[in-house]
Amino acid sequence: MTNDTATLNRASDAGFRSISADTGEPFGEPFAVHGPADVDAACAAAEAAFDAYRSTDRETRAAFLEKIGEEILAIGDELIETAMRESGLPRARLEGERGRTVGQLKMFAGVVRKGGWLGLRIDPALPERQPLPRPDLRLRMIPLGPVAVFGASNFPLAFSTAGGDTASALAAGCPVVVKGHPAHPATGALVAEAIRRAVAASGLPEGVFSHLVGPGNELGSQLVQDPRITAVGFTGSRGGGLALMKLAQAREVPIPVYAEMSSINPVLLMPEALKARGAALGTAFVGSLTMGAGQFCTNPGLLLAIEGEGLDAFVEAAKTALVEAGASTMLTPGIHKAYSESVENLASHAQVETVARGKVGEGVTQGQAAFFSTTAEAFLADKALGHEVFGASSILVRCRNEEELRQVLVAAEGQLTATLHMDAGDAELAARMVPVLERKAGRILANGWPTGVEVTHAMVHGGPFPSTSDGRTTSVGSLAIDRFLRPVSYQNLLPELLPADLRDGAQAGLPRLIDGQLHND
Ligand SMILES: NC(=O)c1ccc[n+]([C@@H]2O[C@H](COP(=O)([O-])OP(=O)(O)OC[C@H]3O[C@@H](n4cnc5c(N)ncnc54)[C@H](O)[C@@H]3O)[C@@H](O)[C@H]2O)c1
Ligand SMILES: O=CCCC(=O)C(=O)O
Answer yes or no: is pLDDT of 11 > 60. no
Distance 239 CA to ligand 1 centre (A): 7
Cα 433 to Cα 243, 315, 428, 447, distances in angstroms:
34, 23, 9, 15
Answer yes or no: is pLDDT of 6 > 50. no
Q: pLDDT of 64-100, one tens digit each?
A: 999 999 999 999 999 999 999 999 999 999 999 999 9
DSSP 3-state of 6: coil
103 lines ligand 2 (CB under 6 A): no
pLDDT on residue 4: 42
298 lines ligand 2 (CB under 6 A): yes
The whole-number average pLDDT for the span 347-358 is 98
Residue in 262, 267, 288, 297 to alter for ligand 2 test, most ligand atoms within 8 A of Cβ:
297
Q: pLDDT of 38-64, one tens digit each?
A: 999 999 999 999 999 999 999 999 999
Q: In one letter, which amino acid is 351?
A: Q
Residue in 153, 166, 213, 291 to alter for ligand 1 test, most ligand atoms within 8 A of Cβ:
153
Residue ranges of alpha helices (H) inside 161-299 are 164-172, 185-201, 218-225, 238-250, 271-290
Answer yes or no: is pLDDT of 370 > 50. yes
Nearest ligand 1 atom, CA 247: 32
- CA-closest residue to ligand 2 atom 3: 297
Q: In one letter, which amino acid is 27?
A: F
Residues 82 and 94: their CA atoms lie apart, in Å, by 10
pLDDT on residue 14: 64
Q: Is 297 a catalytic residue?
A: yes
User: Cα-flanking dihedrals φ and ψ of residue 443, to 5°?
Assistant: -140, 130
- CA-closest residue to ligand 1 atom 4: 236
pLDDT on residue 3: 36
Q: Are 233 and 150 in contact (CB under 8 A)?
A: yes
Least distant ligand from the CA of 152:
1
pLDDT on residue 13: 47
Catalytic residue among 47, 297, 388, 404: 297
258 lines ligand 2 (CB under 6 A): no
pLDDT on residue 168: 99
Q: Are 18 and 27 in contact (CB under 8 A)?
A: yes
Answer yes or no: is pLDDT of 428 > 60. yes
Catalytic residue among 71, 260, 388, 413: 260
% the chain with pLDDT above 70 = 97
390 lines ligand 2 (CB under 6 A): no
Answer yes or no: is pLDDT of 7 > 70. no
- CA-closest residue to ligand 2 atom 9: 452
Q: Is 260 a catalytic residue?
A: yes
pLDDT on residue 1: 28
Q: Which residues line ligand 1 (CB under 6 A)?
A: 150, 152-154, 179, 181-182, 217, 220-221, 235-237, 240, 243-244, 260-262, 297, 335, 338, 390
pLDDT on residue 15: 80
- What residues form DSSP beta bridges with 121? 139, 513
Least distant ligand from the CA of 333:
1
- CA-closest residue to ligand 2 atom 6: 453
Q: pLDDT of 438-476, one tens digit each?
A: 999 999 999 999 999 999 999 999 999 999 999 999 999
Nearest by Cα to 231 from 206, 253, 204, 211? 253
Contacts of 511 (CB under 8 A, 6+ apart): 114, 115, 116, 120, 518, 519, 520
b/e code 30-56 from CB counts within 10 Å (16+ = b): ebbbbbeebbebbbebbbbbbeebbeb
The whole-number average pLDDT for the span 503-510 is 94
Distance 454 CA to ligand 2 centre (A): 9
Distance 335 CA to ligand 2 centre (A): 17
224-226-230-233 Cα dihedral, nearest 10 degrees: -20
452 lines ligand 2 (CB under 6 A): yes
Distance 174 CA to ligand 2 centre (A): 24
On whether the pTM is more than 0.90, the answer is yes
Nearest ligand 2 atom, CA 451: 8
User: Is the bond preceding residue 131 a cis peptide, omega within 30 degrees?
Assistant: yes
Residue in 104, 265, 476 to alter for ligand 2 test, most ligand atoms within 8 A of Cβ:
476
Q: What is the DSSP string of 421-456?
A: E--GGGHHHHHHHHHHHHTTEEEEEESS-S-S---S
> Average pLDDT over the chain, rounded to whole?
96
Cα 238 to Cα 93, 329, 357, distances in angstroms:
25, 22, 26
Judge if ipTM > 0.90.
Answer: yes
Residues 329 and 336: their CA atoms lie apart, in Å, by 8
Residue in 237, 265, 291, 296 to alter for ligand 2 test, most ligand atoms within 8 A of Cβ:
296
Nearest ligand 1 atom, CA 240: 28
Least distant ligand from the CA of 415:
1
Q: pLDDT of 108-159, one tens digit each?
A: 999 999 999 999 999 999 999 999 999 999 999 999 999 999 999 999 999 9
Q: Report the 10 Å Cβ neighbour count for 246.
A: 11
The whole-number average pLDDT for the span 285-311 is 97
Q: pLDDT of 166-197, one tens digit each?
A: 999 999 999 999 999 999 999 999 999 999 99
